[in-house]
Amino acid sequence: MRLVEGVADVEDVEAFVEALGEIGDANDCTVQAFDARYVAGRDHLASALDHADRAFERGENVARERAVEVLLYAAGRRQIRRALTMGVEAGVSPAVALVAADPGIGDPEGAEAASANAIAERLGPGGGFDARDEELIREFFEIEEIELAATDTSLGDLVRERVALLDVEK
């Protein structure tokens, strides 16, 4: 898995997502873009990818496409409409794009590198994980101050717990 950070200037969300999908398809990769303000870190997205892949392996996936399943897990939600809040939106916003070679391809490193480079060309400098908004993350994942105070774990750990709990809610 590779993550590409930057600032997305999106005029048409559907066209932007389609262009990223075409980059992924050309390189046998799954590509999913996120509004970086909602991402609790690299481990958050790695966990979402792992859970999505496991769901496909077990035949328990909700979405037909791997990228959408990754989005559902990253958002900790089963409803695509609600999960899309974590996606990029029209305008200028910080972004993180996840790039993961499709299972079973011959050169996953090369495929991911080619996709990541093509995506980086579509993003401006800045943004990425530096744009993370802990207040927004807490609100989106419904993590109350009392929950944070009751544990020594990080906000990222609590978000990954929400990702893992999605399997329990099925």
Please give the model's pTM, rounded to 2 decimal places: 0.94
Q: What does the radius of gyration of the chain's CA atoms come to, in whole angstroms?
A: 15
pLDDT in tens, the chain (170 residues): 999 999 999 999 999 999 999 999 999 999 999 999 999 999 999 999 999 999 999 999 999 999 999 999 999 999 999 999 999 999 999 999 999 999 999 999 999 999 999 999 999 999 899 999 999 999 999 999 999 889 889 999 999 999 998 877 65
* Concatenated DSSP letters of 7-69: EEEES-HHHHHHHHHHHHHHTTEEEEEEEGGG---HHHHHHHHHHHHHHHHHT--SSSSHHHH
